[in-house]
Amino acid sequence: MKSRKILIATARAISGARLSRRIAELPGYEICGQAQDLSSAYILSESCEPSLALIGSELTRLPEFEGLLSLFRVSETAWLEIPESPPGESRPITGTGPTGSGTEGQSLADWLESAQRQSPVAPLMPVRRNAATPRPAPDGQFLPDRIILIGASTGGIDALLTILSAFPANCPPCAIVQHTGAGFSDSLVRLFARCCAASVVPAAAGQKLVPGTVVIGAGCPGHLILKPGSPPLCDLVVGPPVSGHTPSVDMLFRSAVGFAPSVTAALLTGMGRDGAAGLLELRRAGAMTIAQDEASSTVYGMPRAAVEIGAAMESLPLNRIAGELLSHSRKRQALPLAR
């Protein structure tokens, strides 16, 4: 029987090593990697493709865990949270995560088996292509000056996976700011590239914003902004956080006000207000602006702020946003609002 691959990620090095030794003694299991931080766990998960990941509770509480969880969803990896006392030790175990739970007196083998019997968390955007999988929108003619801008925070990784999976290879140039921790930029670029027919690249100074390219600003050392030109150029501006974040959605949106009639912008799920003021400036200058609706948002903070100040021309469910972004990139924008 083929051994099932297990990944262990915990900052508690001694506990992780002990759990690894115990699992290695069980028949039918193979430890394919151990990590002490989320960035290392992400890289290991990509390379060894475990069937089950055991993650320490001290790591699942970090905001960056959203990125790892999204990878688990698209790769159909089950995961469990490691309790302070793993199964089979002196203390009873408690609930362990979305794909399984422990019970008092349960052995380590039973705990792992119960997790394997559970279905992984259903992905919002399955990567494996089948009849039920969303496919990229058919190629079509986009106006040559069109640009798509997107801002997102909490819950945004899954939302972006859904949107980018519908972008064709020749999609309009797209720049995205996603709030996440430092060190996760490359990981998110690889994750988004798995589901998008267009080329997905990390934000960098001098990067040309051309058709078929999606630029990701996440965990950058500066704010992702656009400089006007033909084509527009990306830049990273070093400075203090804006609206509480680096990079900031407000900074990205405001940098495009000078060519707003060419812009279609969307503000997705997230906590706080970053992006709302910038979206309003874009709308007033002639851009088409969209906010994700409350029902489909993980956290209805940023989109709510945009709706409340009149920054969004439309408030749409997640499953309609990609289509609207592409549709508006095929037609001329409305005239700017009167100030």
Assess contact for 274 and 151: CB atoms under 8 A: yes
Pairing mode of beta strands 233-237, 223-227: antiparallel
Residue tagged active-site, from 158, 250, 274, 293 = 274
Q: Which two tokens stand for residue 223?
A: 């704010």
Active site residue 45: no
Spatial distance between the Cα atoms of 199 and 207, rounded to a whole number of angstroms: 13
Active-site annotation holds for 179: yes
Contact present, 214 and 164 (Cβ < 8 Å) = yes
CB 192 within 8 A of CB 216: yes
User: Which pair of tokens denotes residue 14?
Assistant: 């001694």
Which residue in 51, 114, 158, 179 is the catalytic one? 179
d(CA 278, CA 86): 48
Q: Name the active-site residue from 51, 70, 153, 329.
A: 153
- DSSP β-ladder status, 223-227 and 213-217: unpaired
Give the residue numbers annotated as catalytic, written as ranges: 153, 179, 274
